Amino acid sequence: MASLQDIRRRITSVEKTQKITRAMRMVAAAKLRRAQAAIQAARPYADRMRSTLEEVAASLGESGAEHPLLITREELRRVEIVLVTSDRGLCGAFNANVARHLQAIRAERGSVTELSYTLVGRKALEFARRRQLPISDSYVGIGNVAYAHAAQIAQPLMRRYAEGEVDEVVLVYNEFVSALTQIPRDVRLLPFAPEATADEERTPYEIEPDAEKLLGVLVPKAVEIEVYRALLENQAGEHGARMTAMESATRNTEDMIGSLTLTYNRVRQAAITKELVEIVSGAEAL
């Protein structure tokens, strides 16, 4: 059985860990409030941008106007996957879940001859290096997400798709639902093709100066907005997952401290009882 000094040392160590986990939980909760407000503000804009582009592209398709980023290729020989994770750990299964989702996508696309990866976040880069995956680009240390980060990531992807280097771009990230729930998602980023709206009435648009110039501005902006949304979803999900993980860790330290304290008292009581027995035995011997 461990000595009283060893148990006391363990209790002190767990108490220090508890202070760290409690502080990290408070920091994550403060960051989560800001990140949650940012993603809630960005979602309506991103949804409206996509729906507007779908309506405009569908209306202009009949007139022959199109954009290179809207053209769907029948044969998918080269696919680029954009994996978004966090830079830091201590956030439970947040990064493991999106990595597992990526593995499922890789298994489903076994017929694709070539897969390449754009990695956002240090954990994504470590995941790809361990498995020796072909890396096109990597972005780490982003910190607080800004629109400039999304543009920096999206522009090389759009260039490679327009030049025919890749036939499809898939965005894989964690969608923020709540502090307890983050759902891995995969979204086709390119081609940014409109969905079929045959059963819906199309809104008529009058384009000035012409459709090509409108699409030239609208399509790249929509792609950047989609990447920006994914970064914000990932940021909010990371803080929520870390807050939940640190709250669970704090509860575990409380349980450990209680258990160690009980053990400490039992060992101390046993030592006192032993000393008393020795004193009484010695007195009787005299």
Give catalytic residue positions: 91
Q: Say how many residues make up the chain.
A: 286
Say which amino acid occupies 10: R
Token pair of 143 as six digits: 């910190």
Query: How many Cβ atoms are within 10 Å of 30's Cβ, its own excluded?
Result: 12
The packing angle between helices 211-285 and 4-61, to 10°, is 170
User: Phi/psi at 202 (nearest 5 deg)?
Assistant: -85, 140
Q: How far apart are the first and last CA of the chain?
A: 32
Token pair of 91 as six digits: 């956030």
190 neighbors 169 (Cβ within 8 angstroms): yes
How is the beta sheet containing 182-190 ordered, strand by strand?
135-139, 114-120, 78-84, 168-176, 182-190
User: Phi/psi at 146 (nearest 5 deg)?
Assistant: -130, 160
CA distance 93 to 51: 33
Say which amino acid occupies 286: L
**Helix segments in the chain, DSSP class H:** 4-61, 94-108, 122-130, 147-162, 211-285
Q: Which helix (H) or strand (E) holds 171?
A: strand 168-176
Place of tokens 């493991």: 96
